[in-house]
Chains A and B, each alone.
Chain A
Amino acid sequence: MDWVNVIVQGTLLGGLYALFAAGLSLIFGVMRLVNIAHGDLIIFAAYLGLTVVMTTGLHPILALVFVIPAMALIGYALQVGILNHTLGDDLLPPLLVTFGLSVIIQNSLLEIYTADPQKMDAGVLETASFSLGDLQLGVLPVLTFGIAVVVIASLQWLFYRTALGRAFRAVSDDQDIAQLMGLNRRHIFGLAMALALAVTAIAGILLGIRTSFDPSVGGGRLIFGFEAVIIGGLGNLWGTLAGGVILGVAQTIGAKIDPGWQILAGHVAFLLVLAIRPQGLFPRISG
Chain B
Amino acid sequence: MRVIRTSKAAKISIMLATLVLLVLILAPWWAGRADIRLMGELFLYLALASLWNLMAGYAGLVSVGQQAYVGFGGYMLFALTIFAGFPPVVAIVGAGALGALVSVPVALLIFRLRGAYFAIGTWVIAEVFRLSFAQVSALGGGSGSSLPVKIVRSMADGRSEREALSYWLALGIAFCVIAAVYMFLRSRQGLALTAIRDNELAASSLGIDIWRTKFVVYVVASALTAMVGALIFLQKLRISPDAAFSVNDWTAFVIFIVVIGGIGTIEGPIIGTLIFFALRETLADLGTVYLMVLGVVAILIMLRAPKGLWGLVRARFDLELFPLGYRVISDKVKKE
Interface set of A (CB-CB < 8 Å, partner B): 33-34, 36, 82, 85-86, 90-97, 99-101, 103-104, 107-108, 110-111, 219-220, 222-223, 226-227, 230, 260-261, 263-264, 267-268, 270-271, 274-275, 278, 287
Contact = CB atoms under 8 A, between A and B. Distances in A.
A82 B115 contact: no
Contacts of B60: 91
Nearest to B251: A99
Given A223-B127, A271-B124, A104 B296 contact: yes
B289 interface: yes
Contacts, number: 120
B124 A95 contact: no
Given A92-B56, A260-B131, A270-B124, 12 more contacts: A34-B119, A36-B119, A86-B302, A103-B291, A223-B124, A223-B127, A230-B117, A260-B135, A267-B131, A271-B124, A274-B113, A287-B114
B23 interface: no
B299 interface: yes
Chain B interface secondary structure, helix, strand, loop or mixed?
helix
Interface in B41-87: 56, 60, 62, 64
B323 interface: no
A92 B311 CA distance: 15
Given A93-B303, A96-B302, A222-B120, A103 B295 contact: yes
Contacts of A275: 109
Contacts of B266: none
Contacts of A223: 120, 123-124, 127
A254 to B, nearest CB: 10
A278 B112 contact: yes
Contacts of B62: 91-92, 95-96
B237 interface: no
Nearest to B264: A92
B128 A264 contact: yes
Interface residues of B, number: 42
A264 B125 CA distance: 10
Contacts of A274: 109-110, 112-113, 121
Contacts of B292: 103-104, 107-108, 111
A100 B112 contact: no
B263 interface: yes
Interface in B230-267: 247-248, 252, 255-256, 259, 263
B265 to A, nearest CB: 14
Nearest to B297: A100
* Residue from A95, A99, A270, A274 having most chain B Cβ neighbours under 10 A: A99
Interface in B102-153: 109-110, 112-117, 119-121, 123-124, 127-128, 131-132, 134-135
Contacts of B114: 287
* Residue from A82, A94, A287 having most chain B Cβ neighbours under 10 A: A287
B228 interface: no
Interface string B173-195: 00000000000000000000000
Contacts of B289: 107, 111
A80 to B, nearest CB: 14
Contacts of A264: 128, 131-132, 135
Given A92-B62, A100-B298, A222-B120, A85 B303 contact: yes
B294 interface: yes
A271 B248 CA distance: 24
Contacts of B28: none
Contacts of A99: 64, 252, 255
A226 B110 CA distance: 14
Given A96-B259, A101-B295, A104-B292, A34 B116 contact: yes
Contacts of B128: 264, 267-268, 271
B81 to A, nearest CB: 26
A272 to B, nearest CB: 10
* Residue from B109, B119, B128, B299 having most chain A Cβ neighbours under 10 A: B299
Given A85-B303, A223-B124, A271-B128, A95 B116 contact: yes
B67 to A, nearest CB: 11
B300 to A, nearest CB: 9
A94 B120 CA distance: 13
Contact of A100 (B121, B248, B295): B295
A274 B303 CA distance: 33
B161 to A, nearest CB: 39
A168 B186 CA distance: 45
Given A34-B117, A99-B64, A219 B247 contact: yes
Contacts of A110: 288
5 contacts: A36-B119, A100-B296, A104-B299, A263-B127, A278-B112
Contacts of B306: 90, 92-93
Contacts of B298: 96, 100
Contact of A226 (B117, B255, B294): B117
Given A92-B62, A223-B124, A101 B247 contact: no
B303 A34 contact: no
Given A103-B252, A110-B288, A260-B135, A227 B124 contact: yes
A100 B220 CA distance: 27
A111 B290 CA distance: 11
Nearest to B288: A107
